[in-house]
Chain A
Amino acid sequence: MDRDRYDRSRRIPWLDMDSVFRSGVLIVGAGALGNEVAKNLALSGFRKMTIVDMDKVVGSNLNRCLFFTDDDVRRGSQKAEAVARGVRAISADAEPRAFVGRIEDFPEAEFRGHDVVLGCLDSIEARVHVNLRAYSRGITYIDGGIEGLLGKVVVVVPPEGACLQCGMNRTHARVAELRFSCTGKDVVMHTPRLPAEITTTSVVAAIMVREALKVVSSRPDMLLKNGFLYDGQRNVSEEIEIPLDPSCPVHSKH
């Protein structure tokens, strides 16, 4: 019994470990959240993961990214590849695949073959892109966001549910417009560095992966409906509801 790596997981009645082993997960973003999410997925038994990120590891990542080392900083390792290496190190059964590039350049067809998408992103534009791609393919999208001690998780379940964009407003559009006008597409300028630390990241990543486990275990009845807020300063968390917006572009395109 103690030789079985997943013995304790198998004792959770609703958890479908065979499905966990079989299911494909797309992790978009390999920063702080991406590291924690990948770790939780690997320890939970997920084997098939694709990790997408365009960036290289830098020194300031090291306060919150389990799989990044000083050696990665020196060598200028790609984040997606470093996370894939880390996953292999903690789970011999895992088959992580790294895609180095922007999510906008990730082939649309490759969204297929993934049973759930986990968004670990740091921009509104990228979130909007992933939300649309996942929704239009009927794949559940679990989005995480952190800023200092604040965290948020949104679970998007097509084809009936509200999507991430349903919960956006003019302030989101302004941030996206400003970043676009400042940056062109590829070079980020004038973007304030968001405060980030590991404890909030860990909480948000844990919720995201727990929801992914429910998705692949066919337990939609247990999923968040449809958002979760965490405030680490006051130590409070609660569910919130993002209603479907019939005028949301995702629903009119879908």
Chain B
Amino acid sequence: MAVRLKVKNAETGATVEMELEVENTIDEVIESAATFWSKDMGAYVLRRGKKVLRGGSSLEDAGVVANDVLELIPDPEGG
């Protein structure tokens, strides 16, 4: 089953619409969005509301539904 959702780039505020299958994983969404925005190599997380989504989860298991807005956030690595 296909699901349309938006991913927001936390750094720029830009959004991209994606049409995905419910079997797609959060990891795949992260990588697609990072590639779309030509993000630097680095760690990123995807969140819905306040909750960070588990990379290996399918969209279905993560509870993602049509028209959700997910946010791509860099995971700061430096110290």
Q: Which residues on the A side are within 8 Å of B44 (C-beta)?
A: 169, 171
Most chain B CB within 10 A, of A169, A192, A195, is at: A169
The answer to whether A20 has its CB under 8 Å from any CB of chain B is: no
Please state if A196 and B78 are interface contacts (CB–CB under 8 Å).
Answer: yes
| Bound Cα distance from A194 to B10, whole angstroms | 18
Within the complex, which residue of B31, B41, B78 is in contact with A170, where a contact is CB–CB below 8 Å? B31
Within the complex, which residue of A32, A150, A174 is in contact with B74, where a contact is CB–CB below 8 Å? A150
Residue of B nearest to A32 (CB): B79
The answer to whether A48 has its CB under 8 Å from any CB of chain B is: no
Please state if B42 and A175 are interface contacts (CB–CB under 8 Å).
Answer: yes
| Bound Cα distance from A1 to B45, whole angstroms | 49
Which chain B residues in 55-79 approach chain A with CB under 8 Å?
Answer: 55-56, 73-79
The answer to whether B7 has its CB under 8 Å from any CB of chain A is: no
The answer to whether A142 has its CB under 8 Å from any CB of chain B is: no
Annotate A179-197 by CB proximity to B: 1 below 8 A, 0 otherwise.
0000000000000101110
Q: Which residues on the A side are within 8 Å of B27 (C-beta)?
A: 169-171
Residue of B nearest to A119 (CB): B79
Q: Which residues on the B side are within 8 Å of A174 (C-beta)?
A: 41
Please state if A239 and B42 are interface contacts (CB–CB under 8 Å).
Answer: no
Within the complex, which residue of A29, A120, A168 is in contact with B55, where a contact is CB–CB below 8 Å? A168
Q: Which residues on the A side are within 8 Å of B34 (C-beta)?
A: 171
| Bound Cα distance from A151 to B75, whole angstroms | 8
The answer to whether B54 has its CB under 8 Å from any CB of chain A is: yes
| Bound Cα distance from A31 to B79, whole angstroms | 6
Please state if A34 and B45 are interface contacts (CB–CB under 8 Å).
Answer: no
Please state if A243 and B54 are interface contacts (CB–CB under 8 Å).
Answer: yes
- 22 A-B pairs within 8 Å (CB atoms) are namely A31-B79, A34-B79, A124-B77, A145-B76, A147-B74, A152-B75, A152-B76, A167-B52, A168-B75, A169-B27, A169-B45, A169-B54, A170-B55, A171-B34, A174-B41, A175-B77, A192-B41, A195-B78, A227-B52, A239-B50, A240-B47, A242-B52
Residues of B whose CB lies within 8 Å of any CB of A are 10, 26-27, 30-31, 34, 40-45, 47, 50-52, 54-56, 73-79
